[in-house]
Amino acid sequence: MANSQVSSFTESIFSKMSRLSLEHEAINLSQGFPNFRGPDFLTKLACDQITDPQMDKNQYAPSRGIPKLRHTLKQRYESDYNLTLNPDTEIVITNGATEGIFCAIMSLCNPGDEVIVLEPFYDSYIASIKMAHAIAIPVTLEGPDFSPDVAKIKKAITPRTRAIIVNSPHNPTGRILTDKEQRELAQVVIDHDLILICDEVYEHLTFDQKKHRPMMAINELRDRTITISSAGKTFGLTGWKIGWVIASAPLSHAIHMVHQFTTFSVATPLQWAVASALENPASYIKSFQTHYQGLRDLFCKGLEELNLPFLKPEGSYFCLMPTPSSFKSDEAFCEKLVKEIKVSAIPCSAFYLTKPVDSYVRFCFAKDEATLKQALVRLAKIGK
């Protein structure tokens, strides 16, 4: 008999929509990954590591991650965010942010513990919480601004609450938490002696000069925050799955113990390549942001010209469109999109535990210009 939590899992909405895109020959704007090459300098670096004759970089890495990557991350967090980290005791390299989220939740939760999730959410949070036999308690972010309602969060806290998960820049809404929202959330976490799990995989995907600031940089949160990020989004190489988890030494030790017996370690040559890329990334990140802001503007301007409503994202590579009132649900709208319009999107109801009051579909604009233009030509047929 399978684990009762796991046996309730079904095919993820991302796999389903990518499969339907192929079946219906639709342009895939559903799953979040770029359809263009990652930076050549980095893919070349990885090839060089694999064939490096001096040192065998193709064997198991240390379980916490290679020292060079952990030291480089220490330098990055210090210079970018003024956060001082101990690379030996406070950083674990994981198989993408997804493994980091899993390890963080497994390391914190006992069966029956509660974790507050702000919906819409990235779907792996719920699966990880269930695998720990803990309970996800949803608090809804309401559109169109999707600002966290602190009063509702406080109401959801019980003596079993262990942690709150926040994600900024946010998938799927593209929102970035304001300083005021961060301070209010911090107060709740401190007042109720909770742990904050911050998913910051889109930390460098911010637009219009907006800057991401990790919540861990708030002094009082330093030792009660688990910060999770990944190189996948920043370098447009989602298949590399090089992620990391940052936490105070005791939390980090527990996270490392879960990681040790889940994957043990992460692809060694790719860790070397990411470490080199992160040593001095300022000019790359600037051009990366300009590139994605251009794609966002192309897509949003196109929707505007078609008189289609949308929410302009401040960060991430997603754009939400409200479900037209002529459709009974976001799922029905996505079905029409993939089968008739030939563009796939994700129904945001997949990112909720409760029945959403808002109905949106999510498009991923991490696609080359030609693909986005072709998608817009097809989207012009909505409502016709």
178-186, 214-222, 230-238, 336-344 -> range binding ligand PLP (CB under 6 A): 230-238
Rounded (10°) CA dihedral 11, 337, 207, 36? 70
Q: Is 264 left (phi over 0), alpha (psi -120 to 50) or beta?
A: left
Is residue 153 within 8 Å of 185, Cβ to Cβ? yes
d(CA 67, CA 61): 9
Q: What's the closest the beta carbon of residue 56 comes to ligand PLP, in angstroms?
A: 26
Q: Token pair for residue 346?
A: 């994700």
Quote the tokens at residue 122.
Answer: 């990235």
By the rule CB under 6 A, 98 interacts with ligand PLP:
yes
**Is-contact 68 87, C-beta < 8 A?**
no
Residue from 97, 129, 216, 337 in contact with ligand PLP (CB under 6 A): 97
Question: Does 348 engage in binding with ligand PLP (CB under 6 A)?
Answer: no
If the CB atoms of residues 131 and 380 are measured against ligand PLP, the closer one turns out to be: 131
Is 28 a binding residue for ligand PLP by CB under 6 A? The answer is: no
CB of residue 99 to ligand PLP, shortest distance in Å: 7
Of 122 and 146, which CB lies nearer to ligand PLP in the complex structure? 122
Task: For residue 199, report the phi and psi dihedrals to the nearest 5 degrees.
Answer: -95, 110
Q: Count of residues binding ligand PLP (CB under 6 A)?
A: 14
Is residue 17 within 8 A of residue 213, CB to CB? The reply is no
**Helix pair angle (96-108, 124-131), 10° resolution:** 40
Examine residue 232 and tell whether it contacts ligand PLP (CB under 6 A): yes
Shortest distance in whole angstroms from residue 30 CB to ligand PLP = 11
Question: Residue with CB nearest ligand PLP?
Answer: 96
Site for ligand PLP in 39-78 (CB under 6 A): none
- Looking at 94-102, 103-111, 210-218, 345-353, which segment touches ligand PLP (CB under 6 A)? 94-102
- Bridge-based pairing state of the strands 343-344 and 242-246: unpaired
Q: Identify residues 149-168 at the interface with ligand PLP (CB under 6 A).
A: 167
Q: Is 34 in the site for ligand PLP (CB under 6 A)?
A: no
Residues 315 and 169 sit within 8 Å (Cβ to Cβ): yes
Other beta carbons within 10 Å of 114: 19
Specify the residue, 93 or 337, whose C-beta has the smaller distance to ligand PLP. Answer: 93
What phi and psi values does residue 229 have, to the nearest 5 degrees? -145, -175
Q: Is 206 in the site for ligand PLP (CB under 6 A)?
A: no
User: CA–CA separation, 57 vs 21, rounded Å?
Assistant: 38
Tell which residue, 357, 353, 355, has the closest CA to residue 136: 353
258 in Cβ contact with 63 (< 8 Å):
no
Candidate ranges 156-164, 237-245, 246-254, 295-303; the one touching ligand PLP (CB under 6 A)? 237-245
Q: What mask of x and - would describe binding to ligand PLP in positions 240 to 269, judged by CB under 6 A?
A: -x-x--------------------------
State in angstroms the smallest separation of the CB of 304 from ligand PLP: 25
CB contact set of 251 (below 8 Å; sequence gap of 6+): 107, 108, 195, 223, 226
User: Which of these segments, 71-79, 104-112, 189-197, 235-243, binds ligand PLP (CB under 6 A)?
Assistant: 235-243
Q: How far is the CB of 14 from ligand PLP (least distance, A)?
A: 8
Q: Between residues 225 and 238, which has the closer beta carbon with respect to ligand PLP?
A: 238
Residues contributing to the site for ligand PLP (CB under 6 A): 32, 96-98, 122, 167, 171, 199, 201, 230, 232, 238, 241, 243
